[in-house]
Structure 1
Amino acid sequence: MRWFGFGFNAFGQICVQEKVTKKEIGDAVREVKLSFPTELNVAGRGCCCLKTSKISASWSRRASLHLDNSCVCVAGHGAPCSVAVSTCGCADAIISEWHLTLAFPQRIECWELQKNDTTPSWSMEINTQSSDVNLPLVPGGYIASKPPIFRSLSPHLQAKSLALGGDHAILLTATGAVHSWGLGSHGQLGHGGLTSEEEPRAVEALWGVPMSSVAAGGWHSVCISDGGDLYVWGWNESGQLGLPSRGLRKTSQQKSAHQAELCHDVSTSGEEQHEGEKSDEVFISIQGFPALLDVNPSCEIRTVSCGSRHTAAVTTTGRLYTWGWGEYGQLGHRTLNSLDEPQCVEFFSAENLLVVDVVCGPWNTFTAAVQKEEPELKNRSPK
C-alpha cells in the first residue's frame, strides 16, 4: 500500500525537497501548494518507514503509524517530534496542533507538542478487554483536540466511531444512528437550525437509515449509509457539500465574462440568454438537514473524510472524488480551483492504482492506494 499527499505543504508535512548546492545543505525548500498527488514514502520525501498503515493530520503536522515496528513518525512543524516519547508498540495515533495522542495495548498517552516533557500531559490505563481503542474514542469517553483532553460519554450511546470537526462532534452508534453536538452556527449538527448543542443529540432526519461511517470538517459533516449512499450537511460556502455554491459560481462567471470580453465574436443575444438561465439556478449556502449527494451513480461510497472546507470520498471501485475549497491544491486536480461538485482525481487511474483510503487534513489530503491487478491471461485461447 502506497500513501500520497497533496495540498498545503508549508511545513513539509507532505514532502521536503532538499536543496542541492553545498552552500544550502541543511536547509529545505518546501513547496507550499501541491496540486497533484505526491508519494510520501520516497527517499528524502517524508517518513523513513515504508509500511504506513494509518495517517492523522493537523494543520501543520502529519502523524504516520507504521506496520513494520508499530511506531509513529511525525512530519511537519517541529519534526522530528520534540516530545521525549517512545512510540514502539503503538496501536493508534491522532495528532492536533497541540497534542499527539497515542494508544497502546494497555494505556492511552497524550503529549504536548510544544514542550519537551518527559511524561505525558495526560494518560489513562485500560484493561485488556477494552484495548480495542478507536481514537478519538477511548473507554468511557473521547479525546478532544484541546484541554480538557478527556471528555466523558454516556455508555448508553454505544459509541462505535467519532469524528471531530472544528468545534463540533459527530458520533456513530453501534445501531447505525448518528448523534451530534457542539457549535451549530453553520448547520453542521444536522438538526435543521443554527443553534449549538451541549450534549449529543440524535440527527432525526437520518432515523431509519443505518449509517456505517461519519466524518466532520470545519463547519460541515458527512456520513455514509450501510448501502453506500453519502449524506452531507452544514456550510457550503466553498462547495464542500458538493451542492451549488453561489460564491464559486460567481467567481466562475467573472472568469467567463473576462474571457468573453477578450473574444470579439460573442453575440449580445447569446449573452442575454445565458444571463436568463443563471437566474433560475438554486444555490445552497447552509444545508441544515442531511442531503443525499450522488457522487457517482454507478458505484457506492466506501470511505469519506473532511478537511476544513473540502471533502474527499473513495468509491467501492477504487476511485477518489474530491470537492470544495482548492486554494492549496488539496483537491488533487492539478489546479488551485475550488469545486462545488464531486470530481474524480484522474492521477490514480492514470497510474493504474486503486484508492483504498483517504484522510483529510484541514488544508490537505492523504490517500492510500494499491496497484491494480492485471487481467488474468491464462484462460484466454491462443489466436
Structure 2
Amino acid sequence: MSWFGFGFNAFGQISRRNHSDNDQENSIVYTPTEIKCHVGEKSEKSSELRASWSRRASLHLNGGRSLCFAGSNSPSGICDTGCTDAVVGESFLILGFPDRFESWDLDSDEKIPIWSMDVKTLCDGVGSPFNLPLIPGGYIAMKPPFYRPLSPHLKATRLALGDEHSVLLSASGAVYTWGLGSHGQLGHGSLSSEEQPKVVEALWGMRMTFVATGGWHTACISDGGDLYVWGWNESGQLGLPSRAVRKAPKYQTSEETVDLPTCGDQPEGEKDTQVFISIQSFPALVDITPSSELKTVGCGSRHTAAVTRAGDLYTWGWGQYGQLGYETSRSDEPYLVEFFREQQLRVVDVTCGAWNTFVSVVKKEVATS
C-alpha cells in the first residue's frame, strides 16, 4: 500500500521542496505524487496518514510502529516512538500508545510532551482499542483541555473534529454533532450552536458507517454507500450548486463546457430559475455517479474527496492549490481523478489536509486469460 498527495506544499508536507526551483511551482503539487518517508536511514511507505494545514504525520508498521513527521516546524525526538496512532494539528501533535496518550507542543523546543494521560486511569487497567481522537471514556481535543469526556450512552465508534465543530458516529449508526453552527455544519436545520452532542434527526433510522468534517462542512456515508453532506457550500464543497462557482461565463458540466448566461445576457422577461445553495443546514443526499457506492470520504477546509467501493476517487470544492487532482480552481460537481485509473491504481483510503489531499492506493489486479 502506498500514499499519494497533491495540493498545497509550501511547507514540504507532500514532497521535499527544492528551494532553487520556482517558489510558486514548488508550493503546489498538481500531479499526485507518491509519499516516501525516511525513518532512520530507510525510506518507507506509510501505512496510515494524518494531515493538517501545514503538517503531515505518517505512521509505519514495518518492523514495529514508527512516526514520520513532515511540514512546518517538524519536531525532533518524536520518531521511532512505538505509538499506535497520531493526530496532528497546527499547534499540537497527539500521540496514542498502548498504555498512554500524549500531547506535544509543536511551537516549543521542549523534548518532552506537555500533557499525558495513562490509559489505566480511564479504563480501570483494562486495555481498550481506540481510534484517535476517540479514547476510552471520551476524546482528545486539539487544544486544552485535551481530555474531554463523552457520555457512555453515546457508544462512540468514530469521531471527527472540524475547525469549530465535532461529529460523532455511534455504534448504532446514529450521527451526533456539536460546536459552532454558524454555517449549518451541525445539520440540525438551523445556524445555532450546540454545547453538547445532539443527534442529527434528519438521519435518524438510517445507519451511517463513516463521518468526516472539514472547516465548516460535514459528510457521512450510509451502510448502503450513499453520501450525505451539510454545512457551508461557498466553494461547492458540498457538491451542490454554488453561485460562486457558476457565476463564471463558462462552466464545465459532466458532459461538456457550456456558456452560462450572465445578468447582462438574461433574456428580457425571463428569470433565472437556477437554485444556488450557500448554506445547507440539514443533510442532503449527493449522487457521485448513478451506480457508485462510497467507501470513505475526507473533508478539507473547502473541498471534499470520496472513494468508491470500486476504488475510484472523486473530488469537488475549492481547488486553487491543486487539491482536487485536476485542473480547476473550484467545482460544485464531483469529478473523477483520472490519474489513479490511468496508473492502474485502486484507491482504498483518503484523508484531507486543509488545502491538500492524500490517498492510499494499491495496484489493481490485472485479469489474465
Whether TM exceeds 0.5 here: the answer is yes
- Contact kept? 1:35, 1:336, Cα under 8 Å: no
Residues 313 and 272 (structure 1), Cα distance of their counterparts in 2 relative to 1, 3 Å cut: same
Q: Are 2:118 and 1:125 equivalent residues in the alignment?
A: yes
Q: Deviations over 1:160-183 (max 9, x none)?
A: 100111100000001100000000
Question: 2:156 matched to which residue of 1?
Answer: 159
How many angstroms apart in 1 are the aligned matches of 2:79 and 2:315? 36
Deviation at 1:131, TM superposition (A): 3.4
Letter in 2 for 1:74: F
Deviation at 1:78, TM superposition (A): 1.7
Say what the alpha-carbon RMSD is for the aligned residues.
Answer: 2.6
How many angstroms apart in 1 are the aligned matches of 2:180 and 2:213? 12
Deviation at 1:49, TM superposition (A): 3.7
Deviation at 1:30, TM superposition (A): 7.1
- Contact kept? 2:320, 2:328, Cα under 8 Å: yes
Residues 318 and 150 (structure 1), Cα distance of their counterparts in 2 relative to 1, 3 Å cut: same
Q: Are 2:10 and 1:10 equivalent residues in the alignment?
A: yes
- Contact kept? 2:3, 2:45, Cα under 8 Å: no
Alignment of 1:163-202 (within 5 A): 163-202=160-199
Structure 2 counterpart SS, 1:251: coil
Structure 1 counterpart SS, 2:126: helix
Letter in 2 for 1:135: L
How many angstroms apart in 1 are the aligned matches of 2:304 and 2:249? 20
Question: 1:306 matched to which residue of 2?
Answer: 299
Structure 2 counterpart SS, 1:195: coil
Q: Are 2:31 and 1:53 equivalent residues in the alignment?
A: no
- Contact kept? 2:345, 2:361, Cα under 8 Å: yes
Consecutive unaligned residues of structure 1, counting only runs of 5 or more, are: 262-270, 378-383
How many angstroms apart in 2 are the aligned matches of 1:29 and 1:191? 41
Residues 311 and 92 (structure 1), Cα distance of their counterparts in 2 relative to 1, 3 Å cut: same
Aligned with 1:358 (options 335, 350, 355): 350
How many angstroms apart in 1 are the aligned matches of 2:81 and 2:103? 15
How many angstroms apart in 2 are the aligned matches of 1:150 and 1:329? 35
Deviation at 1:260, TM superposition (A): 11
Deviation at 1:254, TM superposition (A): 9.2
Alignment of 1:1-383 (within 5 A): 1-18=1-18, 31-41=26-36, 49-68=43-62, 69-79=64-74, 81-82=75-76, 84-85=77-78, 87-127=80-120, 129-253=126-250, 279-333=272-326, 335-377=327-369
Residues 249 and 129 (structure 1), Cα distance of their counterparts in 2 relative to 1, 3 Å cut: same
Which stretch has the larger CA shift, 240-249 or 50-59?
50-59
> In the comparison of the two structures, how many residue pairs are matched?
353
Residues 125 and 194 (structure 1), Cα distance of their counterparts in 2 relative to 1, 3 Å cut: same
Deviation at 1:141, TM superposition (A): 1.1
Q: Deviations over 1:273-308 (max 9, x none)?
A: 6995x8111111111110111112212000001000
- Contact kept? 2:173, 2:209, Cα under 8 Å: yes
Greater share of helix: 1
How many angstroms apart in 1 are the aligned matches of 2:133 and 2:277? 31
Letter in 1 for 2:141: A
Q: Deviations over 1:28-65 (max 9, x none)?
A: 9971122221111289xxx9542311111111100000
Q: Please tell me whether Structure 1 or Structure 2 has the larger radius of gyration of its CA atoms.
A: 1
Residues 86 and 40 (structure 1), Cα distance of their counterparts in 2 relative to 1, 3 Å cut: closer
How many angstroms apart in 2 are the aligned matches of 1:360 and 1:172? 19
Deviation at 1:87, TM superposition (A): 4.1
- Contact kept? 2:298, 2:351, Cα under 8 Å: yes
Identity %: 57
How many angstroms apart in 2 are the aligned matches of 1:148 and 1:361? 23
Question: 2:262 matched to which residue of 1?
Answer: none
- Contact kept? 1:180, 1:202, Cα under 8 Å: yes
Deviation at 1:129, TM superposition (A): 3.4
Letter in 2 for 1:245: S
How many angstroms apart in 2 are the aligned matches of 1:316 and 1:275? 47
Structure 2 counterpart SS, 1:3: strand
How many angstroms apart in 2 are the aligned matches of 1:312 and 1:253? 24
Structure 1 counterpart SS, 2:47: strand
- Contact kept? 2:37, 2:46, Cα under 8 Å: no
Q: Deviations over 1:226-285 (max 9, x none)?
A: 111000001100000000001110135599xxx999xxxxxxxxx656995x81111111
- Provide the TM-score with structure 2 as the length reference: 0.90
Residues 52 and 42 (structure 1), Cα distance of their counterparts in 2 relative to 1, 3 Å cut: closer
Letter in 2 for 1:166: D
Q: Deviations over 1:82-133 (max 9, x none)?
A: 4x33543211111000111111111111111111223211111114634311
Structure 1 counterpart SS, 2:172: coil
How many angstroms apart in 2 are the aligned matches of 1:75 and 1:274? 57
How many angstroms apart in 1 are the aligned matches of 2:166 and 2:42? 33
How many angstroms apart in 1 are the aligned matches of 2:114 and 2:163? 22
Letter in 1 for 2:44: L
- Contact kept? 1:3, 1:40, Cα under 8 Å: yes
Structure 2 counterpart SS, 1:156: helix
How many angstroms apart in 2 are the aligned matches of 1:57 and 1:260? 36
